[in-house]
A and B are shown apart, each in its own frame.
Chain A
Amino acid sequence: MPFTDLRFLLLFLPLTVGVYQLLPKRIRLWFVVLASLIYFWLNQPFYLCFFVVFILVNFGLGLLLQHVLQKKYFSQYIFWAALLFNLVLLFGLKFLVENSSEIPNLLVVNLVKSETLPAIWIFPLGISYLVFQVIAYLLDIKNEITSAEKNLLKFAGLLLFFPKSIAGPIQRYRDSVDELDFASGTIDRTAEGIRRFIRGLAKKVLIADVIAQFINPVFNQTELSVTTPQAWLVLIGYAIQLYYDFSGYTDMAIGLGETFGLRMVENFNWPYISKNVTEFWRRWHISLSSWFRDYIFIPLQFRFRKQKKYPIQVSILLIFLLTGIWHGLDWHYIAWGLMLGIIIGFEATKLGKSLQKVWQPLQHLWTIFWILLSWVLFRSPGMTFAANYYKALFGLQGEVIPLPFSQTIPFPVAENSVIIAYVAGIMFAVPLIPWLKSHINSEKISPLGIRILRDIGLGLILIYCLGLIAASGPMPGIYGQF
């Protein structure tokens, strides 16, 4: 049941938000845990026990680690055992799911189609995010940045909290510890949360999903056949789709977090305005990239800081290799990670740093060019497809058989909604609204008038989104599969 499912939007969400607001503060935590368990049960009843055991074991491991912290060697053993448990669980499941012949294609193993597949072969919802949250928690206890949580309910509340169960963000215990009683959801925070949720829904339904319908036929071909202009157009479309899909989903999650009184971390900070790929990766999927930075990159660099011969590029390459693997045990994800690692590693060299002195538009072009090329590997179903896509991008493909939907070569005939989604997608990928806001406030227009207009606008957008979903059905978020 993704957030764009009408059952979620019209039943689950209003019910949980409404009941939460009516409940006294001391039992709100109980309610959030219960609602989250119900959400998990509705999605994957098979895995409910699995998640309960996962929470119990890690809760116990956290307490044990805290208890033996002063015993240096023993605490090391406990920590490594805990880490191993979580990693084996994550990669064991990833391996099992991806190598099962029962599954035709991982991309369709998603919530929409879940009814048609045996429950065991569906990847447990958001397990990659959960495992990373738990590893951060255990490392923070080991490094004495935080203490182990003593209240099982709070621990379960943070990990199971349903708004972030599908696609994150990776919410660390240390950033949430003050709000884990889930008691501070006020009417104001709820209103702000709902506004953010609608904005996220609009990003997903009106931009990402519209573009998806236009570009998916190209990526779903068994033999890629596409002209060069089409290949670029579709790739740009994918760059827009991925951003609006994932950041829209994150907006919805963060908005829901607000309504239940938990402030969650931001995951995106206008990535497409970056001047280099390093910066892009600092602005994209921030909760994942900062996880790798804090828990792998810094410790590695610190350990090797005195070895002059240890180049920073080794750590960078390793981090991005792991980032690729986190997305899936597939060659195209690994190649995608390595590609990013090589570019970012290059940007850390003297020559790479000198790029920061060139004319700014060229720096943006450099960034967009490499990011677009990296999305080819990310989106392609396999390496052969990706290789053919690269050929098409640079005009090295053979004869092109037109796709059914493309009436004209080189550009396919697109519906108006697709053109609007492209234009809006590019327009809102730069901080246009924050810029307008900072300029409008100083003018004479009444802030109250603007707020009322904004809320009416958001209400209309919500109704329009609901109508679209009712007509075409929900599309699950791309990042739900990881």
Chain B
Amino acid sequence: MDIGVLNDVFKEVFDDTSLTITRETTADNVDGWDSMTHILLISSIEEKFGIEFSQKEVIKFKTVGDLLDSINLKLP
């Protein structure tokens, strides 16, 4: 899966159609990406791709790249 698909989930969760993410993007670069929206983002990703994260994984994500790698590992 490439980053574009993930970008769409971000746009939806953060309600911002102009939002562009890169592998290096962190919570600091995205308006409204806080602890509340983080879990919302995670559950949207889980729902969209039919995967599941563990809590350990979720608290270790630092960049969008980490998140993307983890998703790709889980996708068949």
Contacts and interface: CB of A to CB of B under 8 A. Distances in A.
A306 B59 contact: no
A305 B59 contact: no
Contacts of B43: 305-306
Nearest to B58: A302
Interface in B21-62: 34-36, 38-39, 42-43, 46, 55-56, 58-60
Nearest to A315: B36
Contacts, number: 32
A298 interface: yes
Name which of A144, A293, A298, A303 has the most chain B CB atoms within 10 A of its CB: A298
A297 B39 CA distance: 10
B60 A302 contact: no
Q: Specify the main secondary structure of chain B where it touches its partner.
A: helix
Contacts of B55: 143, 299, 302-303
A145 interface: yes
Name which of B38, B58, B59 has the most chain A CB atoms within 10 A of its CB: B59
B56 A302 contact: no
A145 B60 contact: yes
Interface residues of A, number: 16
Interface in A293-343: 293-294, 297-299, 301-303, 305-306, 312
B56 A144 contact: yes
A348 interface: yes
B58 A297 contact: no
Contact of B56 (A143, A301, A348): A143
Nearest to B38: A298
A17 to B, nearest CB: 34
Contacts of B56: 143-144
A299 B42 CA distance: 13
B60 A298 contact: no
Nearest to A139: B59
A305 B38 CA distance: 11
A80 B36 CA distance: 26
Contact of A145 (B36, B39, B42, B59): B59
| Top 3 A-B residue pairs of the complex, sorted by shortest distance between their CB atoms | A301-B39, A305-B43, A293-B35
8 contacts: A293-B35, A294-B59, A297-B35, A298-B38, A298-B58, A305-B39, A312-B36, A348-B36
Interface of A: 143-145, 282, 293-294, 297-299, 301-303, 305-306, 312, 348
